[in-house]
């Protein structure tokens, strides 16, 4: 199958705990020099799109800002398009992403990985708005992320809690939403089967991409847990991005 684009999940594939994973910088450079269109995708919501791009550049990945697609960035575009005023249940470091949007009299709830702010008072305030009909806009449904050698609660469990309480369904703007993947493919100008999604989250990266007709590869680093590949038996599975790139460029 003709491969024209590679969509790279960031955390757990390229980086972990603020460091580049072994061989990842070189692997990305080899993909780029082989003429593949690259995009960097993340649901991370503890920092702004700009901060994520800066960190990748500092680690040597050299993406242009337009190559980085974040879930908070997708939420921001949705708020602007729909003229919505957000109640932001997000991490304080993410606030600059939404700083210039109108916030008074909110009519939408934005839920990210807000860490300490995901307490009863804030969740209950969001719940009141949902009861009044505000849509729940979520970065993702990721169950957990990996940091400093352990798995930690991501935004997904809190999305489910609010959905359950208010009897509503969230609109997910990051992975695994089809809108997110389609926006990336459209921007590159390739068909789904010409793109390969590479991730360490079997549900939100791999299964979601394959359901849309993309090729996909599960990487056994980051949050990968033994046995995850059984949930995506059709997907490619490699120990690292470097191994995947070795295999890809060999068969090209």
The footprint of Mg ion (CB under 5 A) covers 9, 11-12, 200
CA distance 205 to 3: 18
Give 192's Cβ-side CA count (13 Å radius).
14
Q: What is the largest CA-CA distance in the chain?
A: 57
Nearest by Cα to 8 from 230, 193, 244? 244
Query: If you count DSSP H runs as helices and E runs as strands, how many of each does the chain have, helices first?
Result: 8, 14
Cβ proximity to Mg ion: between 99 and 148 the closer is: 148
Least distance in angstroms from the C-beta of 175 to Mg ion: 9
Is residue 171 within 8 Å of residue 201, measured between CB atoms? Answer: no
- 21/212 with CB nearer Mg ion: 21
CB closest to Mg ion, residue no: 12
For residues 174 and 71, is the Cβ–Cβ distance under 8 A?
Answer: yes
Give the nearer residue to Mg ion in terms of CB position, either 32 or 147.
147
Least Å distance, CB 147 to Mg ion, is: 11
Nearer of residues 130 and 215 to Mg ion, judged by Cβ? 215
In whole angstroms, the minimum distance from the beta carbon of 80 to Mg ion comes to: 27
Name the minimum Å distance from CB 11 to Mg ion: 4
């Amino acid at each position: 199958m003709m491969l024209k684009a590679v969509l790279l999940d960031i955390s757990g594939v390229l980086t972990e705990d603020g460091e580049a994973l072994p061989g990842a910088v070189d692997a990305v450079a080899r993909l780029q020099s082989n003429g593949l269109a690259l995009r960097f995708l993340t649901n991370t919501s503890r920092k702004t799109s700009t901060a994520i791009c800066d960190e990748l550049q500092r680690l040597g990945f050299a993406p242009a800002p337009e190559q980085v697609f974040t879930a908070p960035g997708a939420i921001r575009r949705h708020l602007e398009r729909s003229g919505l005023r957000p109640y932001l249940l997000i991490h304080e470091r993410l606030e600059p992403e939404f700083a210039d949007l109108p916030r008074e009299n909110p009519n939408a709830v934005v839920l990210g990985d807000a860490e300490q702010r995901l307490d009863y008072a804030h969740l209950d305030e969001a719940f009141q708005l949902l009861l009044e009909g505000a849509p729940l806009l979520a970065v993702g449904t990721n169950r957990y992320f990996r940091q400093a050698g352990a798995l930690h609660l991501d935004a997904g469990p809190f999305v489910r809690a609010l959905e359950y309480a208010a009897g509503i369904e969230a609109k997910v703007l990051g992975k695994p939403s089809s809108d997110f993947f389609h926006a990336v493919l459209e921007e590159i100008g390739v068909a789904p089967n010409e793109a390969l999604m590479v991730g360490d989250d079997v549900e939100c990266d791999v299964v979601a991409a394959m359901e849309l007709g993309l090729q996909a590869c599960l990487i056994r680093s980051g949050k990968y847990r033994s046995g995850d590949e059984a949930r995506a038996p059709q997907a490619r599975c490699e120990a690292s991005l470097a191994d995947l790139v070795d295999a890809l460029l060999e068969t090209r």
